[in-house]
Structure 1
């Protein structure tokens, strides 16, 4: 019996009394209240910014995120961006519903129901993580807060504090923005991982070469699937992972009612369907133009002291999402680049065949020096010098085969060659530049500054100057016309020596190209005759010609010497094309213009460009010069434009070939378009050895022809084929009908004879 009582006492001791229950319950509640109080205190401390500053109301109204500045063409196409992060903002209306549906279904199904923090989801996520199923608990608004204002902390304690900061910021965002605005901000800031791709606009272009409003459900699912792991779900590096993730997003879209069962299965069966293209400053349209434009815009922002609304902070072209409106026509730019590529392939093949089997060192006395200069200017040489390598070590390095990527007109190739041989290879590559503009407005429509921006950064349209050759001859003839000469005036085509300007100067003329006898000035210009041109120069004197050249926009030095009539001075394609525009525009030189205006990301005007306008020539003289320049195409050095390319509409122009065929030029004019083309090697000492191959009619004119044929075929561009130059309203007193001119001269001679008698 005693034993039984003892056991009962033990059982009584093990029982939990109601008093004990109340005590334990109080402990639990104290723990819960303590946690809640700690949570509230933490929230208050974070709200009072003890653990770091929170975004202000102003920052929430104007969230700070690096945005690419856009280069916009005259036909409203984005032809390039300037950026640190390749991010371009879009509006909600520019987002496909497929993108919104894919995002909400995958990342935050209750997005439209919560106010920034989804507590129901948060507690369920905690339970998931406790049982080992790792899940993310951030709403879209919380993710936006992280994207806009901080970077994810790796320290667990700091991450907890950061998470609470995100909650507060998310709540503020929900109070200040509509759901549509939050979705738009999120889409503009989300990181799509590699290839410097930020925001849905950039991602759409990079992976599908499209815009966000045109994304199909499967495309949207792929991009939204990348958000949680742009590395592991990369369709480029991990296509299998990307496909599974895309199909998961499509399943979620089906579960949330955004896609029917049939639609979901149909899209799941599709391949990834990528149209992948990395956005790069070296790639895309008008690369040379964009590089020149960037420097110009940066200079304007500094010189004009263009500041942000605070009146203190300067704009950052790479971060502030400026909109730069240009005169470039995207379609015409494309045509210019196509024409260059099409013909330069053929011309380079001619050049290579021309030099095949010939020793450069024997044929070009300066070649060794050019090679040495090229080596010393190379990045490789500079890098080796910075490593304190000796000349012998550098020489050995340049003669040791190495892997490299080289440019060809059929695409870049990876190869192994000696660095010194790569310099030889590049020296023998022909370069080319083209600029096309509207002579009436001065607006530049196409700009091709070189052959490949990635390999050859130097812009040859505006930055480079080369000897202009016979393209300078019209300036001398224009002064002659102004002095009373007629295009029908006849001059003996014979040698002439001009004295009085230092050494006597006698221009040369190729025997095979010299037109014998007495010829008209129009024929002399058409056939590019040096002696008749020099005769006109001797009559009008160098100073007026030099003055006219400067008045017509040539910014490089033009000394008042007789030889400028044959183009011995240097000028850029930019200046020469602009100068010829005055002939087509009734003598009015309108400054070549490529920048229209600059706006901030909200569309506020920051800068508006107004081109300079100069009446360089009398309208009558300009019209007569168009008649002279049409002779070049109808019967002169530009005749192959008719013969080979069958461009039969009213068009004028002038070829140019400098000494030793170092530079080939062609500048063509129509009432609506003036286009200049230059071709040559990097060094003037390297060139075609025959004029037949090296003249402007062979190296430059065909590119002009290819460009114009494309332009004329596209009637939407508004460049009309059968429009001729219009005489000035005041009429033309200068006789351009050579039959009538002969009768006038005959009558004048008879009167003079009678007077002499």
Structure 2
């Protein structure tokens, strides 16, 4: 009786267990069916899987299709199966998926092993059961989940998608797709990017040990990063080589020989901020972003500028750009040292009033204030030394310094900008926005507006000529105090005594005389100078004050370059542009960009020739003469130096017959300038960038042929107009009745133009050309 009772109990338990198992089975089947049916989100269909899109970086090229750099979220590029060396394929399969050629997307044997050991035996070292195909799915459709249930759903989805992929693609295709999408160390995606980054070579040229290093890093991209942990990477590489030997892909002799070798990297970090023309490429990115938005509105088609494999064709000349960057770095390393030595032991960047303004804007300082720290506690925290990355011309390094030290180091660094453009159409040929894009993102070409100093004077001279002043008119070079301008007294930068000395326009331009520039402004009137400057392409608001003649206007480098194109382009300003066309990955043209249409000349051809001749004299024997005696440049060059008040900014505009260049140097903080004019003047701070560049251009056969040209000869009339002695002394009676020791005082017409008087008007009537 007891036996029957026990038997019935066993039967009942069995029935319940069987029923429970059946219910679990049916629930599992239903759960799997619901996932496959898309109740937890749709699975990609056959068509979309057949068009698997592997994101490709956008490539930026120069005017000759030379590569400048990439735009990407993750650096990657595609290779074909034929590019993959056999030892790379063997390393991958033997390490990641030994039965790759046997399964159809899912290795149920490995999956069962992982479930048994990991789930039932809680053995976390059991490894993963994902096949290469499943890992490919994970690469193509990155996981996004909030809890364990969601990750379970995602993993099941990946199994279904993997099985679909195996029906659509060959094993070789899957291997290629996987290697093009998988993540390697240092945020590189795809075997091409990894090969270039760590070994600076094409995938097909990878050696056995290099392939093993890269495959080994897939297990843990940080822990097995060969750059960061070379020993751990070597151990992992040897595990990969061991797997290859175990599966018969590597003979014992070669295995034993290879595991003894060290890893030799030829590391080339590929970051958007590194490489040629980083400031320029950032401007391309900004314009491209705007274009993509407009394209989507117009065409109804979305374009991803980071992953659609676009090719951006630009106007830049890579060779000229690289020479300009090298020249800037060469000069700035020397100038920075001179700048610091010139200030000695009391530099402005160490004054608390200057660096405190920066400190108080930092998140660290604001956090200390929110925490209620006292001023003494805040200062103590600010002076605490920690490991911080610092930049100087010896390189980037990690130093144990305080936050204040770090800010002072940043404040003292001089910045530089350089721009070169074709005056005929505005095409940008070189662009340097700062000294180092990684550490100083601010672009001084496009974003900054600084006082331009004497580089504005050619526009003042141009306005004066257009108003009727003749090149051989003479002007007193002595200083004048303007009583109605609060006693303002413009003076010249040199120490010569100009009492009783009068100079013509060319001599005044050659020596960059401030006193004469103001007198020329009186001749034309401020309104005429403003009008001409805007007609020459300057869009910024200009100060309507007499000091405009000395360059108190704040302009961008692009505006200044645009205005100077008029001196080489028949008086017409050329609008800067730098993208010529955009093509997709198939080479189809999506957009083309042309130079802006011709504008009307801002002034006459005769005036243009006169001012260009004057600016050539600046280079031959004036403030820019060091181009000849120091840099040994003998070709035709016109130019103008510029230095602003308190030596805050140094400028040089250099003109070749077919190139406009602008160089600028200064500190970003307005309270910091050069201590002495000898160091800070434009001829010493900015001109050398141009001088060093032209030396390199001269030594290069291709660029020398392109840019070493002669200016067209001026007309016979212009030659006659400028044929006069540079200086003329006052006559005997004027000297007799002039008190040398008494400062000359006069009023400047508030409306912008001095009344000429009857005698001067009559004199002008009888003046000959």
Q: Mark yes or no: TM-score above 0.5.
A: yes
- Residues 211-251 of structure 1: per-residue CA shift (max 9 Å, x gap): 44553443233212322332443213442342244355457
SS in 1 for 2:523: helix
- Check 1:114–1:580 CA distance in 2 against 1; reply closer, same or farther (3 A cut): farther
On the 8 A contact 2:336/2:413 being kept in 1, the answer is yes
C-alpha distance in 2, partners of 1:565/1:451? Answer: 30
Q: Secondary structure at the match of 1:675?
A: strand
Q: Select the residue among 154, 172, 182 that pairs with 1:190.
A: 182
2:184 and 2:117 map into 1 onto residues whose CA distance is 27
Matching residue of 2:419: 435
Equivalent residue number for residue 672 of structure 1: 658
Moved more, 115-124 or 202-211: 115-124
Q: How does 1:446-525 map onto structure 2 within 5 Å?
A: 446-483=430-467, 487=471, 489-495=472-478, 506-512=489-495, 517-525=501-509
- 1:335 matches 2:318: no
TM-score by length of 2: 0.78
2:566 alignment partner, SS class: helix
**More deviation in 702-711 or 345-354?**
702-711
Paired residue secondary structure (2:296): coil
For 2:644, which of 650, 658, 661 is the aligned residue? 658
Partners in 2 of 1:754 and 1:241 — Cα distance? Answer: 91
Q: Which of residues 552, 568, 575 is equivalent to 2:536? A: 552
In 2, Cα distance between equivalents of 1:621 and 1:223: 66
Once residues 78 and 267 of structure 2 are traced to their aligned partners in structure 1, the CA distance between those partners, rounded to angstroms, is 21
Question: Is 1:355 aligned to 2:339, yes or no?
Answer: no
What residue is the counterpart of 2:627 in the other structure?
641
- In structure 2, the CA distance between the partners of 1:146 and 1:401, relative to structure 1 (3 Å rule), is closer
**Whole-Å separation in 2 of the counterparts to 1:593 and 1:266:** 57
Aligned counterparts of 1:483 and 1:124: Cα–Cα separation in 2: 93
Of 318, 333, 336 in structure 2, the residue corresponding to residue 345 of structure 1 is: 333
Deviates more, 1:282-291 or 1:35-44: 35-44
Partner of 2:513: 529
State how 1:129-278 maps to structure 2 within 5 Å: 134=126, 138-151=130-143, 164-177=156-169, 181-193=173-185, 195-212=186-203, 214-247=205-238, 249=240, 270-278=261-269
CA shift at 1:466, angstroms?
0.9
For residues 30 and 485 of structure 2, the distance between their equivalents in structure 1, rounded to whole angstroms, comes to 92
Greater mean alpha carbon deviation, residues 263-272 or residues 226-235 = 263-272
1:541 paired residue among 525, 529, 543: 525
Find 1:590's aligned residue among 574, 596, 606.
Answer: 574
SS at match of 1:647: coil
Deviation sequence 1:400-444 (CA, Å, 0-9, x none) = 555533322212344444544544443333222212223234222
Post-superposition offset of 1:320: 5.5
Tell me if structure 2 keeps the 8 A contact 1:87–1:201: no
Q: Distance in 2 between matches of 1:439 and 1:265?
A: 64
State the shift of 1:465 in Å: 1.0
- CA contact 2:81–2:176 (8 Å) conserved in 1: no
Q: CA deviation at 1:637?
A: 0.9
Q: Secondary structure at the match of 2:653?
A: strand
Distance (whole Å) between structure 2 residues aligned to residue 162 and residue 277 of structure 1: 36
Match of 1:696 among 670, 682, 688: 682
Deviations 1:623-679 (A, max 9, x none): 443332221111111111111111221111111011222211111111333221111
Task: Please report the TM-score for the alignment, with normalisation by the length of structure 1.
Answer: 0.79
SS in 2 for 1:634: helix
1:732 aligns with 2:732: no
Shift of 1:737: 5.8
- What is the CA–CA distance in structure 2 between the aligned matches of 1:577 and 1:248, rounded to whole Å? 60
Alpha carbons of structure 1 residues 740 and 661: separation in structure 2 relative to 1, 3 Å: closer
Note closer, same or farther for the CA distance 1:455–1:94 as it changes in structure 2 (3 Å cut): farther
Distance 2:707 2:562 in 1: 21
In the alignment, the residues of structure 2 paired with residue 87 and residue 298 of structure 1 have an alpha-carbon distance, to the nearest angstrom, of: 18
Give the distance between the partners of 1:714 and 1:237, measured in 2 at CA.
40
Aligned residues: 705
Evaluate the alpha carbon distance shift between residue 690 and residue 338 of structure 1 in structure 2; reply closer, same or farther with a 3 A threshold.
same
SS of 2:537's equivalent in the other structure is coil
* Of 512-521 and 222-231, the range deviating more from structure 2: 512-521
Alignment partners' CA distance in 2, 1:693 and 1:121: 72
Q: 3-state DSSP class of the match of 2:392?
A: coil
Give the distance between the partners of 1:753 and 1:401, measured in 2 at CA: 75
> Structure 1 residues 260 and 643 mapped into 2: Cα distance closer, same or farther (>3 Å)?
farther
Structure 1 Cα separation of the partners of residues 701 and 430 of structure 2: 17
Give the equivalent residue in structure 1 for 2:37. Answer: 48
Which of the residues 526, 545, 558 maps onto 1:574? 558
The match for 1:90 is 78
- Separation in structure 1 between the aligned mates of residue 273 and residue 364 of structure 2, nearest angstrom: 20
Unaligned runs of 5+ in 1: 1-31, 743-750
